[in-house]
Structure 1
Amino acid sequence: MTARHYPSPPTDVYLFATCLIDLFVPQAGLDAVRLLEREGLTVHFPRKQSCCGQPAYTSGHPREAREVARAQLDLFAEPWPVIVPSGSCAGMLRHHWPKLFEDEDEHDDNAAPRARALAERVYEFGEFLLHVLKLDFRDAIADAAKTERVALHTSCSARREMGTREHGVKIVDALPGVTRVEHVRESECCGFGGTFSLKHPDISGAMVKDKVASACATQCDRLVSADCGCLLNIGHAAQQSGAPLAVEHLASFLWRRTTPANGDV
């Protein structure tokens, strides 16, 4: 992963909400919007957006993934940053959408340069807060007396393609009243892996069982992640086994920890 140049804070951004947030964790998307709007940004949400194409791509179906991407290239036409509240989906847009069109000659629609141009404007949510908006949560308004012990989880592709763990660590460590605790299996896959969990349920189940046990061993109050697929997998596994592990998306966690009880900001 190479270092990237970060622009000055913009006035307008797009939100690529991801299909998992849209269908299963809409509050995380709403909280991401509220955090961005609180910083004075206008957030645009193209309603025809859909999946990033990652399930098809990682299952060996690049043609299908390419058509998913092609249908969305024109939805983000303005030169605004595209914020993605999922590290793995952000990695798909930034690193793999351009690859989908590298050797294509079936269409004369300039899809390859359009995909490359869009990829350059894609930012993972925590990355954007930290490196573009340069937010410092050390002076967060919320009641710092309410302490929490938090374990982090970063999806495999988010960690390796977008450096998302670094963003989460720096943001959480700056929050008053929050103590980040590390667990021994933090760097390991949770077993979700998109379609992997469907193709290999026994292996996936064993992996998430280890992940839940590792997080619980820290006696953390909750596990926080910026990747909804992992959150759903870990949260449901904990619930099914009766493990005392709450999970929360980074956007919702930040909104809750940095907003006074009366809602004034």
Structure 2
Amino acid sequence: MKVSIFSTCLVDLMFPDVGKAMVEVLERLGCETDFPASQVCCGQPTYNSGYLEESKQAMINMMRAFEHSDYVVGPSGSCIAMFHEYPHIFKGDPQWEMKAIALKEKSYEFTQFIVRVLGVSDVGARLEGSATYHRSCHMSRLLGETETPFLLLENVDGLQLEPLKNSDNCCGFGGTFSVKMPEISEQMVDEKSACIAETGAEYLISADMGCLMNIGGRMSRTGKPIKIMHIAEVLNHASPANIRPSAAKGGAFL
């Protein structure tokens, strides 16, 4: 099965090991991966800020980049959810509507692809310790995926999952939201951090590095450090080299 990797801006620029882990897991599961070099941003930051027309060129570039891909898989539910918005954005456009629909129909978040397309719920990963999982807003509310991360984590040998209070609450990142409304964002991430600290977990896991960067950075600054891991790193046999302290590259906005 051929899979094109959509790296996303944040993973590509700041957390490349997450992208590498995703590729290694997919290839172990029998996928042949490629990386279309012309991909850039999906257009979400400017689109969410109200600049619709200015965002379309980036979106068109992404449709072109993945036009000949069988499947497109990314390590962020948020960015994949943006692909799923393209048919709405280009509705009625004679040149791009059908290409937008085609990209939506073949695009999956990493854990979603493993479970929904490959039919795998146990990748043979092992991680000793306790962890709690943060649901990202876009993945659960816009992409509509709430099950696949848990199905995979439940089969990680040695991992004890701790329930997270108010798990549906936003962490306050929201991309440009945390920059434009830092006071509100800070209160939201403080509430999320307190709930995570209450679990006593050693690891905070999520499927979006934006959330992990925001929460991990804030917890480090407030004296509640926790090890943060993207779920791709956990599923990639969770070697010690994949585990980063919460202060690493985190909390850029708070």
- What is the TM-score with the length of structure 1 in the denominator? 0.86
Shift of 1:256: 2.9
The aligned residue for residue 102 of structure 1 is 91
* Identical pairs, percent: 37
The aligned residue for residue 45 of structure 1 is 35
Distance 1:147 1:28 in 2: 20
The aligned residue for residue 5 of structure 1 is none
Distance 1:206 1:81 in 2: 39
Residue pair 1:185, 1:210 contacting (<8 A) in 2 also: no
Matches within 5 A, 1:151-162: 151-162=132-143
Identify the match of residue 129 of structure 1 among 106, 111, 114: 114
Paired residue type of 2:124:
A
Moved over 4 A (4+): none
Residue pair 1:154, 1:164 contacting (<8 A) in 2 also: no
Unaligned residue ranges in structure 1 (runs of 5+): 1-10
The aligned residue for residue 223 of structure 1 is 204
Shift of 1:205: 0.7
Distance 1:121 1:18 in 2: 16
Matches within 5 A, 1:189-204: 189-204=170-185
Residue pair 2:216, 2:225 contacting (<8 A) in 1 also: no
**Over aligned residue pairs, what C-alpha RMSD do you find?**
1.8
Distance 1:53 1:141 in 2: 34
Count residues with an aligned counterpart. 241
Shift of 1:147: 2.8
Paired residue type of 1:226:
A
The aligned residue for residue 60 of structure 2 is 70
The aligned residue for residue 83 of structure 1 is 73
Report the CA distance shift for 1:141/1:179 in structure 2 as closer, same or farther (over 3 A): closer
Residue pair 1:212, 1:245 contacting (<8 A) in 2 also: no
Paired residue type of 2:51:
H
Paired residue type of 1:88:
S
Distance 2:227 2:128 in 1: 15
2:42 pairs with 1:56: no
Paired residue type of 1:170:
L
Unaligned residue ranges in structure 2 (runs of 5+): 242-254
Residue pair 1:141, 1:260 contacting (<8 A) in 2 also: no
Shift of 1:229: 0.9
The aligned residue for residue 112 of structure 1 is 97
The aligned residue for residue 249 of structure 1 is 230
The aligned residue for residue 249 of structure 2 is none
Identify the match of residue 124 of structure 2 among 140, 155, 162: 140
- What is the TM-score with the length of structure 2 in the denominator? 0.89
Paired residue type of 1:59:
S
2:156 pairs with 1:175: yes
* CA displacement, residues 65-111 of structure 1 (integer Å, 9 cap, x when unaligned): 211101221111224110011001111102x111221144xxx6x21
